[in-house]
Amino acid sequence: MKLPYAEPYRIKVVEPLKKTTAEERKKAIERADFNLFNIRSEEVFIDLLTDSGTGAMSQYQWSEIMLGDESYAGATSFFKLKDTINEVLGMPYFLPTHQGRAAENVLFQTLMGHSAPEMVVPGNSHFDTTKGHIEFRGARAIDCTIDEAFDTTCKHPFKGNVDLAKLEAVLKEYSPDRIPLVLITVTCNSSGGQPVSMENIREVSSLCKKHGVTVFFDAARFAENAYFIKTREKGYSEKSIKEIVLEMFSYVDGCTMSAKKDGIVNIGGFIAFRNEELYNKASTFNIIYEGYLTYGGMAGRDLGALSVGLKESTEFSYLESRIGQVAYLGEKCVEYGVDVQQPFGGHAIFVDALKFFPHVPRDQFPAQLLGVELYIEAGVRGVEIGTLLADRDPVSRENRYPRLELLRLAIPRRVYTRSHMDYIAAGLANLKERSEKIKSGFEIVSEAPIMRHFTIKLKRI
């Protein structure tokens, strides 16, 4: 008899969760102006808003919390992390930042300056803060993701891939001085947590070298990407995750990272570099925006915890459990007839809101509607990856309508059990049964001029 699946850890500390009634949740979401970010955490039963900084640290990470060296300069915790980044990623230079968007700010300031209206940054479905930093400087993010990524039923194993023809067209249209970098997001969050193949990384790198353009990773979920390369790409099944990671990073000039994902810490980020000259240039901005070079907005204890987390996240047994849990939720959704992005991604299940609410106009934000109704139904909080997140065109100020309207259900690392996944899937199934009775969505009451989805206020139509 084949032994059933079991998590490769045991639970040492538990956090009680509060259950609320549907009526209480209706009042809570109304108080929040139908913005899921505005709900108090104690009003949420299962929180899938993000997998960023919400994971459970191991006993070895907690021991580093106690060992943290809080010296302003030259802390031992910094050198632990420096050695780990070089060992795991093969990057000899790095700058710590308080989180991923801070790393983006420092890097883009280094490569683009305060204002870059003539510049473009090609990539594969840029993350919201990435696009925000680019557009804030007057530059333009150009999405070069393969078309298969936008068909949720397509089973392409690497939907995060960059379309080489699209990228080459951009590289030919713009001179190298107008392309500060090409950014490959691994895994690609905005297209459904989808991985990028090693072959594609290699080909993008080769193409960029040919045109004299720098290549960086947004490496927030690099370890999950490596797992998919091992399990889906020919020639990598016998390689270890650590071997695959080193090869991935050998093709790029550096990376930004929100360490709150595959670093399995609650706060922190960094920029890693292969080139010392670029590191030295970025160091000035890191000191201005973040802090001194050996802490950069992070406490010593968090630097130490991250040095352990990067090693733990590149263990196959951990990744098999983590990605297996996400896939289990995806399989339950499919079983209940809920349309989701397939194949299932590494950190989240993405529900297709256009198929869930085909009768709701896109200017009424069907993905946000799905998130609000799932919260009312089951106390489960997700996040909209659709028109609200796509924001307005910086010139016309009209809504931008992405090819997909998704509700992302991001699974925190080592936090929830299989029973929680069953509960989430059942909540979606119940909601689907009454979806036709939900006739309309929302209109905007007020919004910020950029990255509006974080603070937007809505009202029901």
> What is the residue range of 65's domain?
59-312
87 and 168 part of one domain: yes
Please report, for the domain that includes residue 96, its CATH number: 3.40.640.10
Catalytic residue flag (residue 72): yes
Q: In what helix (H) or strand (E) does residue 284 lie, and over which residues does it extend? A: helix 276-289
Q: Which residue is catalytic, options 47, 51, 69, 128?
A: 128
> Which pLDDT score, from 0 to 100, does residue 378 have?
98
Q: Tell me, yes or no, whether 8 lies in a domain.
A: no
Q: Which of 273, 265, 219 is nearest to 110 (CA)?
A: 273
Catalytic residue flag (residue 302): no
Tokens for 357?
């609410």
307 and 319 part of one domain: no
C-alpha dist (Å) from residue 409 to 197, 341, 424:
24, 11, 9
What sign results for the dihedral spanned by CA atoms 78, 82, 85, 91? Answer: positive
99 and 238 part of one domain: yes
Strand-pair partners of 406: 352, 385
Tokens for 186?
């691994």
> Which pLDDT score, from 0 to 100, does residue 240 have?
98
Q: Tell me, yes or no, whether 13 lies in a domain.
A: no
204 and 275 part of one domain: yes
Q: Which of 116, 346, 104, 378 is nearest to 224 (CA)?
A: 346
**Spatial distance between the Cα atoms of 340 and 254, rounded to a whole number of angstroms:** 33
DSSP string, 337-348: T--B-SS--SSE
162 and 255 part of one domain: yes
Q: Tell me, yes or no, whether 264 lies in a domain.
A: yes
75 and 195 part of one domain: yes
Catalytic residue flag (residue 127): yes
Q: Which of 365, 356, 357, 359 is nearest to 443 (CA)?
A: 365
Which one of 312, 344, 379 terminates a domain?
A: 312
Which one of 264, 283, 312 terminates a domain?
A: 312
45 and 74 part of one domain: no
**Spatial distance between the Cα atoms of 98 and 101, rounded to a whole number of angstroms:** 8
- How many domains does the chain contain in total? 2
pTM for this structure?
0.95
The terminus-to-terminus CA distance of the chain in angstroms comes to 55
> Which pLDDT score, from 0 to 100, does residue 394 have?
87
**Spatial distance between the Cα atoms of 215 and 107, rounded to a whole number of angstroms:** 12
Q: Tell me, yes or no, whether 165 lies in a domain.
A: yes
Using one digit for the tens of pLDDT, what is the confidence trace for 206-254?
Answer: 999 999 999 999 999 999 999 999 999 999 999 999 999 999 999 999 9
> Which pLDDT score, from 0 to 100, does residue 4 have?
80
Q: Tell me, yes or no, whether 12 lies in a domain.
A: no
Please report, for the domain that includes residue 337, its CATH number: 3.90.1150.10
Tokens for 410?
């991001």
Which one of 312, 340, 373 terminates a domain?
A: 312
134 and 231 part of one domain: yes
Using one digit for the tens of pLDDT, what is the confidence trace for 246-294?
Answer: 999 999 999 999 999 999 999 999 999 999 999 999 999 999 999 999 9
336 and 378 part of one domain: yes
SS3 content of the chain, % helix, strand, coil (to 5): 45, 15, 40
Q: Which residue is catalytic, options 75, 220, 353, 425?
A: 220
Q: Which residue is catalytic, options 78, 127, 279, 375?
A: 127
Q: Tell me, yes or no, whether 174 lies in a domain.
A: yes
Catalytic residue flag (residue 218): yes
170 and 250 part of one domain: yes
40 and 70 part of one domain: no
Residues of the chain with pLDDT under 70: none
Q: Which residue is catalytic, options 51, 143, 163, 218?
A: 218
144 and 206 part of one domain: yes
> Which pLDDT score, from 0 to 100, does residue 221 have?
97
Q: Tell me, yes or no, whether 7 lies in a domain.
A: no
The one-letter code for the residue type at 154 is C
Q: Tell me, yes or no, whether 420 lies in a domain.
A: yes
> How far is C-alpha 450 from the chain's CA centre?
19
**Spatial distance between the Cα atoms of 259 and 309, rounded to a whole number of angstroms:** 9
